[in-house]
Amino acid sequence: MSKRSDSDESEQIHRSVREAYARIAAGGGSCCGPSADCCGSLSADKHAGNIGYSNEELASVPEGANMGLSCGNPTAVASLKPGEVVLDLGSGGGFDVFIAAGKVGPGGRVIGVDMTAEMLGKARGNAAVFRQRTGLDNVEFRLGEIEHLPVADNSVDVVISNCVINLSADKPQVWREVARVLKPGGRAAVSDLALLQPLPEAIRESVTALVGCVAGAVLVQDTEEMLKDAGFVDIVLEKKTDYVDAMGEVSDPLYVEITRHLPENTRMSDYVTSLNVGAVKPS
């Protein structure tokens, strides 16, 4: 494929994702495709509780910040400390930003980056509520792409992300950007979807599945190689297939659509896992 074709495909993916998440921000779509209910019959808070968020964390965020887009709890994986500077890739309505802000406290700072203007507007509105409720003024939201972060070199202690990097058409570039903005000794803590084995062709070609975080996912070992190529050390990859099985239990629309294309006697968790990624930039 030519560089021109690669560029065109990348831009098409960006456009599809941006449009879909603009609809989500407006309340007219979901991470699972065109359905109005992102998590099937499960509420966003119940879904978040099932994948590791505490009731205290859920109660701390403004109403509407949790949009059911999570596939893990990167703030827990990160073991955030007071005073740290945190960057959230694909911050959406600000869900993980607000939880991280409570953990780093008034001496810390959390920056959310999202490429969708509608999401940014929603997050900034939520930030005003968060400041009023908590007295914390330690969050900000910036418009930008995760392949080209609007963040200075060596300026961040921790990078988190939740079910977003798999949406990128240039994942190696994302990991290089993460390494660039982290301080020496800084760490990445990411929850994402990854593949245990290649998906059937019919699923990989589905834009709906791409926006739902599945068709863009790569093999677990490919994620490890990208991290190594970006210079990371102390890499930890924890597979969490129970999250994917839970999607089937609540008749998640994305799960139902994908299972229609799976080979007989197989299930989605045979192919897809939630993956907690931990890695460190050498000091």
Q: Name all domains of the chain by residue range, CATH numbers in brackets.
A: 3-280 (3.40.50.150)
The letter for the amino acid at 276 is N
Q: What would the two tokens of residue 272 be?
A: 């897809």
pLDDT at 258: 76
pLDDT at 259: 78
> What are the residue ranges in the chain where pLDDT is below 50?
1, 3-4, 28-42
Taken in order 78, 73, 142, 144, is the CA torsion positive or negative? positive
**Integer Cα distance of 68 and 130 in angstroms:** 19
Q: What is the pLDDT of residues 252-262, one digit of tens each?
A: 666 777 777 78
pLDDT at 61: 87
pLDDT at 183: 98
In order, the DSSP letters of 47-110 are HHHHTT--HHHHHHSPTTS--S--SS-HHHHHT--TT-EEEEET-TTSHHHHHHHHHH-TT-EE
pLDDT at 64: 76
Pairing verdict, β 182-195 and 272-280 = antiparallel
pLDDT at 254: 66
Q: What is the pLDDT of residues 231-240, one digit of tens each?
A: 999 999 999 8
pLDDT at 269: 87
Three-class SS state of 262: coil
Give the Cα-Cα-Cα angle 264, 216, 113 (nearest 5 degrees). Answer: 145
pLDDT at 152: 98
pLDDT at 199: 82
pLDDT at 263: 85
For 197, the enclosing helix (H) or strand (E) is none
pLDDT at 80: 97
**Integer Cα distance of 37 and 102 in angstroms:** 28
Q: Which of 89, 87, 118 is nearest to 100 (CA)?
A: 87
pLDDT at 42: 47
Given strand 182-195, what is the order of strands in its sheet?
139-143, 109-114, 85-89, 156-162, 182-195, 272-280, 233-240
HSE-CB for 175 with a 13 A CA cutoff? 24
Angle between helices 117-134 and 3-25 (to 10 degrees): 40
